[in-house]
Amino acid sequence: MKESIHSQGLRRCGIMFLTWAMLSFPVMPGWADDAAAPSDTSRLKEMIQAGIKLLEAKKYEAFLNRYPVPEERAKMLKERSLEEMARSFSKRHAERLLAIFRQIEGEVPTFSEDDQRADYKVELENFSRDRLVFEKIDGHWYLRN
């Protein structure tokens, strides 16, 4: 059974439209950014929850191996061992950071224009900053000190 010329034309138009739509979807204004944000938000939420578990379990070496920005961690490791860093961290920062992570656990961060930085508003007594900053490096999120 032969298709009419009219049917063939409609089918071709439909295929062309679908092809155009699939190729254009990621670059529609605002859509690409909106699509990226939820996965980043989810990853940050998982990271914060995992950080809470590490801090609650007092696994400070594991925390310090994963969370600080790599260049900062490398700088710190030049000055002292991971064990020494963990001891200092446990005395000076662990409890406060645990409280901050608990505070922001359910929050949605504010992303930078390029989605490489995520800021969480923080309200904690005796904490000198009003936000906690995460930075995306090579597709992974890290805590920016």
- The count of other CB atoms within 10 Å of the CB of residue 144 is 15
List CB contacts of 44: < 8 A, sequence separation 6 or more: 109, 118, 134, 141
- Give 43-83 pLDDT, tens digit per residue: 999 999 999 999 999 999 999 999 999 999 999 999 999 99
46-66 as b/e: b if 16+ CB within 10 A: ebbeebeebbeeeebbbbbee
What's the rounded Cα separation, in Å, for the pair 33 and 85? Answer: 38
pLDDT mean across residues, the chain: 81
As a whole number of angstroms, the distance between CA 50 and CA 56 comes to 10
Confirm whether pTM is higher than 0.75: no
**27-48 average pLDDT score:** 67
